[in-house]
Amino acid sequence: MLAICKYALGPVLLAQGLRMRRVALRLPEAAGPREGRVGEPRGQPLRLLFLGDSSAGGVGVAQQSQALALPTAQSVAERLGAHVHWRLIAQSGVNTPEALQLLRRAPAEPADVLITALGVNDVTSQQSPHAFLCHYQRLVDEAVARTGVKAFVISGLPPMGMLPGAPQPLRWYLGRYATRLDERLRHWCAGRENRVHLPMDWSAQPAQMAADGYHPGPSQYARWSALIAARVVELAARLDLLQPGTDWPDAAA
Protein backbone atom coordinates (compact mmCIF):
# COMPACT_ATOMS: atom_id res chain seq x y z
CA MET A 1 0.00 0.00 0.00
CA LEU A 2 2.74 2.44 0.93
CA ALA A 3 4.64 1.64 -2.27
CA ILE A 4 1.51 2.36 -4.32
CA CYS A 5 1.05 5.69 -2.58
CA LYS A 6 4.70 6.53 -3.19
CA TYR A 7 4.36 6.06 -6.92
CA ALA A 8 0.98 7.79 -7.07
CA LEU A 9 2.22 10.79 -5.11
CA GLY A 10 5.77 10.62 -6.44
CA PRO A 11 5.95 14.02 -8.17
CA VAL A 12 4.34 15.78 -5.20
CA LEU A 13 6.57 14.05 -2.64
CA LEU A 14 9.70 14.81 -4.65
CA ALA A 15 8.80 18.47 -5.06
CA GLN A 16 7.98 18.87 -1.39
CA GLY A 17 11.14 17.08 -0.33
CA LEU A 18 13.33 19.27 -2.51
CA ARG A 19 11.64 22.42 -1.27
CA MET A 20 11.95 21.35 2.37
CA ARG A 21 15.68 20.78 1.91
CA ARG A 22 16.01 24.19 0.29
CA VAL A 23 14.10 26.27 2.84
CA ALA A 24 14.68 24.30 6.06
CA LEU A 25 16.35 26.14 8.91
CA ARG A 26 19.89 24.75 9.31
CA LEU A 27 20.85 24.42 12.95
CA PRO A 28 24.37 23.48 14.09
CA GLU A 29 25.31 20.54 16.25
CA ALA A 30 25.70 21.32 19.94
CA ALA A 31 29.02 22.85 20.91
CA GLY A 32 31.31 21.35 23.51
CA PRO A 33 33.46 18.28 24.15
CA ARG A 34 32.50 14.92 22.67
CA GLU A 35 34.27 12.82 25.23
CA GLY A 36 34.71 12.98 28.96
CA ARG A 37 34.47 11.43 32.40
CA VAL A 38 31.78 12.04 35.00
CA GLY A 39 31.18 10.72 38.51
CA GLU A 40 33.62 9.84 41.25
CA PRO A 41 37.00 8.86 39.74
CA ARG A 42 37.37 5.52 41.53
CA GLY A 43 37.66 2.08 39.98
CA GLN A 44 37.18 1.20 36.33
CA PRO A 45 34.60 3.37 34.56
CA LEU A 46 31.50 2.21 32.75
CA ARG A 47 32.22 3.19 29.15
CA LEU A 48 29.41 4.56 26.98
CA LEU A 49 29.72 5.03 23.22
CA PHE A 50 27.10 7.19 21.48
CA LEU A 51 26.76 6.85 17.72
CA GLY A 52 24.31 8.62 15.48
CA ASP A 53 23.08 11.47 13.35
CA SER A 54 22.19 15.10 14.06
CA SER A 55 20.03 14.24 17.05
CA ALA A 56 22.92 12.36 18.65
CA GLY A 57 25.07 15.41 17.90
CA GLY A 58 22.65 17.70 19.75
CA VAL A 59 21.17 19.72 16.90
CA GLY A 60 18.44 21.84 18.47
CA VAL A 61 20.35 22.90 21.59
CA ALA A 62 23.41 25.08 22.06
CA GLN A 63 25.69 22.94 24.23
CA GLN A 64 26.46 19.25 24.74
CA SER A 65 25.45 19.75 28.36
CA GLN A 66 21.86 20.19 27.06
CA ALA A 67 22.04 17.44 24.45
CA LEU A 68 22.03 13.64 24.68
CA ALA A 69 25.40 12.07 25.45
CA LEU A 70 26.73 14.10 28.38
CA PRO A 71 23.41 14.30 30.31
CA THR A 72 22.93 10.56 29.83
CA ALA A 73 26.41 9.85 31.21
CA GLN A 74 25.77 12.14 34.18
CA SER A 75 22.46 10.45 34.93
CA VAL A 76 24.02 6.97 34.72
CA ALA A 77 26.83 8.03 37.06
CA GLU A 78 24.33 9.40 39.59
CA ARG A 79 22.03 6.37 39.44
CA LEU A 80 24.82 3.82 39.78
CA GLY A 81 27.07 5.80 42.09
CA ALA A 82 29.78 4.96 39.58
CA HIS A 83 32.05 6.85 37.27
CA VAL A 84 31.39 6.90 33.57
CA HIS A 85 33.48 7.54 30.49
CA TRP A 86 31.45 8.74 27.52
CA ARG A 87 32.32 9.28 23.88
CA LEU A 88 30.22 10.68 21.05
CA ILE A 89 30.56 9.87 17.35
CA ALA A 90 27.92 11.76 15.40
CA GLN A 91 27.40 13.70 12.20
CA SER A 92 24.36 15.48 10.82
CA GLY A 93 22.74 13.84 7.83
CA VAL A 94 24.16 10.34 8.17
CA ASN A 95 22.07 7.24 7.68
CA THR A 96 22.95 3.86 9.15
CA PRO A 97 25.50 2.74 6.51
CA GLU A 98 27.18 6.15 6.73
CA ALA A 99 27.27 5.88 10.53
CA LEU A 100 29.07 2.57 10.07
CA GLN A 101 31.75 4.40 8.10
CA LEU A 102 32.02 7.02 10.86
CA LEU A 103 32.61 4.24 13.36
CA ARG A 104 35.27 2.65 11.18
CA ARG A 105 37.14 5.96 10.87
CA ALA A 106 37.04 6.70 14.60
CA PRO A 107 39.74 5.50 17.02
CA ALA A 108 39.04 1.96 18.24
CA GLU A 109 38.62 2.54 21.98
CA PRO A 110 36.99 0.08 24.43
CA ALA A 111 33.31 0.52 25.28
CA ASP A 112 30.73 -1.36 27.37
CA VAL A 113 27.44 0.06 26.06
CA LEU A 114 26.61 1.34 22.58
CA ILE A 115 23.79 3.89 22.38
CA THR A 116 22.47 4.67 18.91
CA ALA A 117 20.31 7.44 17.49
CA LEU A 118 19.75 6.59 13.85
CA GLY A 119 17.01 6.01 11.30
CA VAL A 120 15.57 9.37 10.28
CA ASN A 121 18.03 9.72 7.41
CA ASP A 122 17.39 6.12 6.41
CA VAL A 123 13.79 7.23 5.87
CA THR A 124 14.71 10.29 3.85
CA SER A 125 17.28 8.34 1.82
CA GLN A 126 14.67 5.59 1.32
CA GLN A 127 16.67 2.67 2.66
CA SER A 128 14.50 -0.42 2.33
CA PRO A 129 13.53 -2.13 5.63
CA HIS A 130 15.71 -5.11 4.71
CA ALA A 131 18.74 -2.95 3.87
CA PHE A 132 18.18 -0.86 7.01
CA LEU A 133 18.37 -3.91 9.28
CA CYS A 134 21.33 -5.36 7.40
CA HIS A 135 23.27 -2.13 7.88
CA TYR A 136 22.28 -1.97 11.55
CA GLN A 137 23.52 -5.51 12.11
CA ARG A 138 26.81 -4.67 10.41
CA LEU A 139 27.13 -1.60 12.60
CA VAL A 140 26.59 -3.66 15.75
CA ASP A 141 29.04 -6.32 14.57
CA GLU A 142 31.64 -3.63 13.83
CA ALA A 143 31.15 -2.05 17.25
CA VAL A 144 31.67 -5.40 18.96
CA ALA A 145 34.80 -6.09 16.93
CA ARG A 146 36.33 -2.63 17.42
CA THR A 147 35.34 -1.79 21.00
CA GLY A 148 34.29 -5.03 22.70
CA VAL A 149 30.91 -3.49 23.50
CA LYS A 150 28.60 -5.84 25.41
CA ALA A 151 25.23 -4.07 25.55
CA PHE A 152 23.11 -1.91 23.24
CA VAL A 153 20.45 0.75 23.70
CA ILE A 154 18.83 1.25 20.31
CA SER A 155 16.76 4.42 20.03
CA GLY A 156 13.73 3.91 17.82
CA LEU A 157 12.66 6.24 15.06
CA PRO A 158 10.68 9.33 16.06
CA PRO A 159 7.07 9.76 14.89
CA MET A 160 7.96 11.62 11.70
CA GLY A 161 4.29 11.97 10.83
CA MET A 162 4.12 14.65 13.54
CA LEU A 163 7.04 16.75 12.32
CA PRO A 164 5.83 20.33 11.84
CA GLY A 165 8.77 21.05 9.55
CA ALA A 166 7.40 18.76 6.81
CA PRO A 167 4.32 19.59 4.66
CA GLN A 168 1.52 17.19 3.82
CA PRO A 169 1.38 14.67 2.18
CA LEU A 170 5.15 14.32 2.61
CA ARG A 171 4.76 14.32 6.39
CA TRP A 172 2.24 11.47 6.21
CA TYR A 173 4.49 9.43 3.93
CA LEU A 174 7.60 9.94 6.06
CA GLY A 175 5.63 8.98 9.14
CA ARG A 176 4.39 5.74 7.62
CA TYR A 177 7.85 4.83 6.33
CA ALA A 178 9.44 5.59 9.71
CA THR A 179 6.89 3.33 11.40
CA ARG A 180 7.81 0.47 9.05
CA LEU A 181 11.52 0.80 9.84
CA ASP A 182 10.89 1.15 13.55
CA GLU A 183 8.75 -2.00 13.64
CA ARG A 184 11.60 -3.93 12.04
CA LEU A 185 14.05 -2.45 14.53
CA ARG A 186 11.84 -3.33 17.49
CA HIS A 187 11.46 -6.95 16.38
CA TRP A 188 15.21 -7.16 15.76
CA CYS A 189 15.87 -6.15 19.38
CA ALA A 190 13.13 -8.28 20.95
CA GLY A 191 14.21 -11.21 23.09
CA ARG A 192 17.86 -10.12 23.27
CA GLU A 193 19.25 -10.01 26.78
CA ASN A 194 21.88 -7.42 25.88
CA ARG A 195 19.85 -5.28 23.45
CA VAL A 196 16.91 -2.97 24.17
CA HIS A 197 14.77 -0.89 21.83
CA LEU A 198 13.80 2.53 23.18
CA PRO A 199 10.49 3.71 21.67
CA MET A 200 10.32 7.38 20.68
CA ASP A 201 6.53 7.77 20.42
CA TRP A 202 6.58 10.07 23.47
CA SER A 203 8.45 12.68 21.39
CA ALA A 204 5.38 13.54 19.27
CA GLN A 205 5.21 17.01 20.82
CA PRO A 206 5.70 19.69 18.13
CA ALA A 207 5.57 22.51 20.68
CA GLN A 208 8.65 21.09 22.43
CA MET A 209 10.77 20.75 19.30
CA ALA A 210 13.63 22.95 18.15
CA ALA A 211 13.10 26.02 16.00
CA ASP A 212 13.55 24.04 12.78
CA GLY A 213 10.49 21.91 13.53
CA TYR A 214 12.57 18.80 12.96
CA HIS A 215 14.93 18.20 15.90
CA PRO A 216 14.34 17.78 19.64
CA GLY A 217 14.21 20.80 21.89
CA PRO A 218 15.83 21.03 25.36
CA SER A 219 13.00 19.34 27.28
CA GLN A 220 12.89 16.45 24.80
CA TYR A 221 16.64 15.89 25.02
CA ALA A 222 16.32 15.88 28.81
CA ARG A 223 13.62 13.21 28.74
CA TRP A 224 15.43 11.17 26.10
CA SER A 225 18.68 11.13 28.09
CA ALA A 226 16.81 10.08 31.26
CA LEU A 227 15.11 7.21 29.42
CA ILE A 228 18.40 6.00 27.96
CA ALA A 229 20.09 6.22 31.35
CA ALA A 230 17.39 4.02 32.87
CA ARG A 231 17.97 1.39 30.17
CA VAL A 232 21.75 1.54 30.65
CA VAL A 233 21.34 1.00 34.40
CA GLU A 234 19.09 -2.02 33.74
CA LEU A 235 21.62 -3.51 31.33
CA ALA A 236 24.52 -2.86 33.70
CA ALA A 237 22.75 -4.80 36.45
CA ARG A 238 21.56 -7.60 34.15
CA LEU A 239 24.92 -8.16 32.49
CA ASP A 240 27.15 -7.27 35.46
CA LEU A 241 28.93 -4.55 33.53
CA LEU A 242 30.34 -2.79 36.60
CA GLN A 243 33.58 -4.60 37.19
CA PRO A 244 36.04 -3.68 39.97
CA GLY A 245 39.19 -1.97 38.82
CA THR A 246 41.93 0.43 39.76
CA ASP A 247 41.71 4.17 39.99
CA TRP A 248 42.27 6.29 36.91
CA PRO A 249 45.93 7.26 36.65
CA ASP A 250 44.95 10.94 36.35
CA ALA A 251 42.21 10.85 38.99
CA ALA A 252 43.82 13.66 40.96
CA ALA A 253 44.12 15.91 37.90
Give the whole-angstrom CA distance, residue 229 versus residue 221.
12
Which pLDDT belongs to residue 247? 41
Q: How many residues are listed for the chain in this entry?
A: 253
Structural domains of the chain ordered from first start: 37-239 (3.40.50.1110)
Cα–chain center distance at 56: 5
If you average pLDDT over each of 21-35, 204-218, 233-247, which comes out highest? 204-218
DSSP state of 31: B
Contact 218, 27 (CB under 8 A): no
Whole-prediction pTM: 0.89
Contact 166, 24 (CB under 8 A): no
pLDDT digits (tens, 9 = 90+) for 91-147: 999 999 999 999 999 999 999 999 999 999 999 999 999 999 999 999 999 999 999
Give the whole-angstrom CA distance, residue 87 versus residue 143.
13
